[in-house]
Structure formats: structure tokens, C-alpha cells
Structure 1
Amino acid sequence: MKMSFPFSAIVGQDEMKLALLIAAVDARIGGVMVFGDRGTGKSTAVRALAGLLPPIPVVAGCRYNCPPGSENACPAPEAHRPGKAVMPVPFVDLPLGATEDRVVGALDLERALGHGEKAFEPGLLARAHRGFLYIDEVNLLEDHIVDLLLDVAASGENVVEREGLSVRHGARFVLVGSGNPEEGELRPQLLDRFGLSVEVRTPQDLAQRIEILKRCDAFERGPESFVESWRKAERKTLKKIGRGKDMLPAVTVPDEILSLASRLCIAVGADGLRGELTLMRASRALAALDGDATVAPSHLRHVAPLALRHRLRRNVLDETGSTARIDRAMAELIPA
């Protein structure tokens, strides 16, 4: 089995790692969009987080990753075997050339032609259920596929009505997209549907670059020993995620925080209410990660750029970037 690079061993890219941890604690946030240079560890970080998480319990023989106790909701209960099983947290790469049939699923032609049976062949969405769906260069993916993915990610369910088939199955996953803005922009309507947005850049610090080289070389030369050397840090990160998931339902968001989130969205001119909803959910998830029972202004300040920078309209009279506009608004609303 191929080993994943340890999540805790990734050098720098703190904002990206934080966004992924927040999404791991609360998948309802709506996924993470990562913009930046090639070769900055985007896919490595997502794979590492998926590899870090503990195996998930599933119904034995289930092709839809159904959890035990949900057998009646599965589209193919006839394939189930007695007992329970566990599997690694799914990590599914969605290639740019993927067709809609491959993504959502379609008629199983082999069974249809060979046995005359009308059966459903699950797609990538079924494989990604309860895990991560990663799309590299999402800005180059066909718009109708991105529309479909975002709708399913928001509803947590995939519904297929075609070729006389009617299938409905769970499809809850953390959607992570990456792209380089120089190769084409993502439509604003689609970008707005991602919960968090992260900007990553090639490190310019010499010491940091050298440390990255050392760790990559050590992992390539001896994956087992390298992973073992980071085992303690990985357990600490895993414990933090588990504690955050357990605490999340009990974390309270005071009215003053909700008011602050709305005022911030008004101040920066964010369209719609998704920004405020994401601010609330992300700040609550961050509080849970930190072990705090109540969301504080510091949590909101920390997640505001992640939740809002991709929702702002371009201001021709303001040449500063969206992050600078958010920082400026926060400085006025949340004095340091």
C-alpha cells in the first residue's frame, strides 16, 4: 500500500492546512478552493489529510460506502455481505476529461448486454462518499460538470434519472478544487459555491525551501521511517480533529458574532448570504478545533479571508487585492 506524506510534515502553507482542517471538522462548509502556483503541495496536503484520518466503518460489500445502520437507504442492498467492514477515508481524483456518466454513474452495460439486467454502475461521486473529492485545475473543468459537483456537494445526495433508471444515494464529501488563475478563471457563480478559498505561493524563504527539499528527499528514500518519525505529530493532529468534531455541536455563536459577520460582509460588499453562513460555520469549526466552547472575534478574524476573499466584486477604484480589503474592514470592525 502506497504511503501518504504526513500532513504534519508539510512545511509552511499554514492557511491551506487550516482550511482543510476546518473542512474536515465540518463538511457542511462547502469545500475548499485552492488557488496558486504549481508544485506547492496542494494535492499532497489533501491526500495527507485523507490518509491521516482513521478508517471509516462501512457495510460489508457496499459499493456506496454506506455506514452500518443505513442498509435500507442503499440503492444496492443485494450486494451487501453479512457483518461490518472498515475502509480508508476515500480520496478520489476527478480527471479533467471525466464524462458526466463517469462522475454520477450510469447504466451497467456489461450486465445489460450480457444478462439483460438493468443495473446501475456507481460513479466517482459514490466512491467519494464520506471522503474527499479532489479536482486539479478545476478552472479548466467543463462548467456543467462543476455545476453538478457543487449541487451534489451542497445537498449531500446524488440523484440519477436516466436510461429508465432512478437511483438516489448519499454523496457527502469534502470537495477540494485547485487551479492557477493564469490558466483561466472560474466563473464567479461557481466560485461563490466553494466554502473557503486559499491562496498559496511558492515559498521565497531560503531556509523553508531547503527544509522542504530535505523532507521530500527523506520521504522518497525511506517512506516507512519518515512516516514513523512523524507518528506522534500525526496522532496529535488526529486527536485535534476528533475533539473538534465532538465539540462542534456544543459550540455556541453569540449574537454579537453574527452581527459582526454581517457587518463585515456589508463592509466588503460580499454578494448574497453565503459569506455570512460560511463565516459562522468556519468560525464555529475553528473554535471547536481550538477547544473553545464559544466563538470569539479572534476566530472570526482568522477565518474571514478564507470565507470572503473569493466572494468580492472587483472594485475598479481600489487596486488592492480582496485580502487587503478584508483586512482593512476587519481592522475597523474588530480592533486588535
Structure 2
Amino acid sequence: MNTTQNQIRPVFPFTAIVGQEEMKLALILNVIDPRIGGVMIMGDRGTGKSTTIRAIADLLPEIEVVQDDFFNSHISDYELMSDDVKNKINEGLTLKTKFVNVPMIDLPLGATEDRVCGTIDIEKALTEGIKTFEPGLLAKAHRGILYVDEVNLLDDHLVDILLDSAASGWNTVEREGISMRHPSRFVLVGSGNPEEGELRPQLLDRFGMHAEIRTVKEANLRVQIVEQRSNFDQNPYACLKEFKNKQEELKKIILTAQQKLSSISIDYDLRVKISEICGLLDVDGLRGDIVTNRAAKAFAAYKGKENVNVTDIKAVITLCLRHRLRKDPLDTVDSGLKVQQVVDKILDD
């Protein structure tokens, strides 16, 4: 991390954040494997949601992108390249690259579809036969993090577009019969306050994980959080220096986990148990099974293991399933607790 005095605006260090372990774990696992499908963070106001999300983006190692490309294209991975870059490589052209910080894009609540997806210049296309594309936020977010604060207040149509792009890894824009597509693989992070309304169950289900955060009640911990923040505000560079080693250590762990992920295996018996839990909880569809398998592998990689075990599944399954349970207005048991009860019953047998 760059701690020099010319840094534009210092970001609060991720490893300095006190508490909120559930939210931090969900973000780390999504960074290790973006195919988990993002995370929805619901909690009280003033609990450090935005601070934590910006901190994880700042922590990540720089990525190599093709120079002068709108879409942060990867130089060797076909899945992460724009069609233009693919064509140039197929023609045998040598492309220059550069290293940039992982993109962290904030989606404003009032954003229009054009601002999110990008626009095609129809006039130019029809008169000159040239496809001119003005990239939107989905292009800028490719290979990074797209953050939507108050996602429960965002237009449902826009949430659908975001979730479709996050799931497919591509964004397609069509205007008057003219089509343009580009890669758009990002970690989608939504946050919101449950008091301001819930997300529709169909949309909620599309988020890979759901982290709940509460205001810290313990006085000692609250004092520690306030002191940590005050120290950073008074002298951010001293704070960055203090946490530099911890930041570098976590960065290495994340990098190693990303490289190791593809070799992590999960036994058939454990996969059956995950599906058994989803069945007993009456989880609709198979998304819960898929996400739990991916998250357990990411957690095992994060912990430096070769295979997934019961502990890994227990660490992630509540995050993956709690938002997929059918809501019963008369139910007094918290959905997270309900998941935990079934998990203990099946996995401890």
C-alpha cells in the first residue's frame, strides 16, 4: 500500500477495523472468489459499512490491464478481455500493459440505465457505420468492486441489470438493433438499513452472501473503535504506518488463496450434507448449494488448506443461506439461528 505523503486521500486500513467479523469475512471470501456472487450487507446506520468496503478495495494488490482499453482488459485471460483486445491479439499485435489499483466504483442512487450500462452513439452508427460506445459504470467496475449503498432504495430494474452482469460476467447494450458487449466481472457489494425497506426476495436470493451487522453494545469495544477512528483522522499516515505489516500480511494471504483456489477439493459426502441442509431449510432453487460450496472452498484456501472440512462449511454456511429462507411473519426465530440449528444437527451427526 502506498503510504507516501502524496497519496490523494488515505483510506482507513482494513486490518485496523475493530469487530464486524462477519462483514469482513464475506468481503475477503468474495475477493478470493468473485464467482460467489457478491455480498449484501444489512445493518444499522453508522456501523462502518462504507469504510470497510473502501478499505478492502484499497488493500488489494494492483492488477495488470491493457493500456488505453476502456474495460480493464486482462492481457492473457480470454474471459476477462474485451472483443477489441481479443481481435488485436489474434492479429498478432503486441499490446502495452500497465498496473492500476483495483477499481472501486460507487453507484449513485440516482444513476440512470445509460450511466450504468453505457451508451451507443446511434447517429454515428447509422450515418457513418461506426460503432461508438460510451462506457458506463459496469465497464469501469470490471475486475474490481461495484458498491451500491442503500441498494434497497435502488430501482428494481437497475438491481436486475447489476445482478445479471455480476452473474454472467458480461454487459450487453442494445439500441435500435445495434448491439455492443463487454466483459464486466466484479464483486457486487450492496449495503442498506433494514428500517428503510427490504430487498425483494428474488433479488436478495441473487446475492451470494448476506452479512448482518449490529451496533456494538460493549462499552470497551465502542471506545476502542472511536479511538481508532480519531487517531486516523488526526494523523492518517501514522495510522497507515502502524498497520502496514498487518496489511501486507493479509494481502499475501489473499493472493495465495486466489492462486490456490482451483486446487481445493470438497468431498462428495460433504457436498451431500450441504444439499441436505438446504433441503431441510426449504431453500428454493440450487443457488444456495452452489454458493455454499464455492464459499467453503474459498474459506479453505484462505486458511491455507488443501481440502474443505466441516469447520470450513460451518464458518460460511449461515452467510450463504440466511437470506434464502422463506419469511414467516409469525416466526420468532432469527433466520441465522435457524440455519445454525440445522447445520449443527446435520454436520455434528
TM-score band, normalised by shorter chain: over 0.9
Q: CA RMSD in A?
A: 2.3
| 1:158 corresponds to | 171
CA distance in 1, matches of 2:77, 2:344: 48
| 2:264 corresponds to | 251
Matched residues, percent identical?
47
State the secondary structure of the residue aligned to 1:159: strand
| 1:172 corresponds to | 185
State the secondary structure of the residue aligned to 2:180: strand
| 1:34 corresponds to | 41
Query: Deviation string for 1:164-202 (max 9, x for gaps)?
Result: 532111100000000111101100000000000000011
Pair 1:224–1:145, CA change in 2 (3 A): same
Q: Is the 8 A contact 2:122 2:176 kept in 1?
A: no
| 1:216 corresponds to | 229
Number of residue pairs the alignment of both structures matches: 335
Query: Deviation string for 1:306-330 (max 9, x for gaps)?
Result: 0000000023553101011111111
Which piece of structure 1 moves more, 115-124 or 34-43?
A: 115-124
Q: What TM-score comes out, normalization by structure 1 length?
A: 0.94
Q: 5+ residue gaps in structure 1?
A: none
CA distance in 1, matches of 2:27, 2:37: 11
Cα displacement (A) at 1:334: 2.0
Does residue 228 (structure 1) correspond to residue 236 (structure 2)? The answer is: no
| 1:89 corresponds to | 102
Q: How does 1:51-200 map to 2 (within 5 A)?
A: 51-69=58-76, 73-75=81-83, 83-108=96-121, 118-163=131-176, 165-200=178-213
Cα displacement (A) at 1:108: 4.8
Does residue 18 (structure 1) correspond to residue 31 (structure 2)? The answer is: no
Amino acid at match of 2:11: S
Q: Is the 8 A contact 2:208 2:320 kept in 1?
A: yes
Q: Is the 8 A contact 1:107 1:163 kept in 2?
A: no
Cα displacement (A) at 1:107: 2.8
| 1:302 corresponds to | 315
State the secondary structure of the residue aligned to 1:325: helix
CA distance in 1, matches of 2:121, 2:83: 14
Q: 5+ residue gaps in structure 2?
A: 1-7
CA distance in 2, matches of 1:157, 1:333: 38
| 1:3 corresponds to | 10
Q: Is the 8 A contact 1:7 1:234 kept in 2?
A: yes
CA distance in 2, matches of 1:69, 1:333: 43
Cα displacement (A) at 1:69: 3.8
Q: Is the 8 A contact 1:158 1:169 kept in 2?
A: yes
CA distance in 1, matches of 2:320, 2:329: 22
CA distance in 2, matches of 1:76, 1:257: 43
State the secondary structure of the residue aligned to 1:275: helix
CA distance in 1, matches of 2:38, 2:197: 20
Query: Deviation string for 1:122-175 (max 9, x for gaps)?
Result: 000000000000000101000000011101100000111114532111100000
Q: What TM-score comes out, normalization by structure 2 length?
A: 0.90
CA distance in 2, matches of 1:234, 1:169: 33
Cα displacement (A) at 1:76: 5.2
Q: Is the 8 A contact 1:120 1:165 kept in 2?
A: no
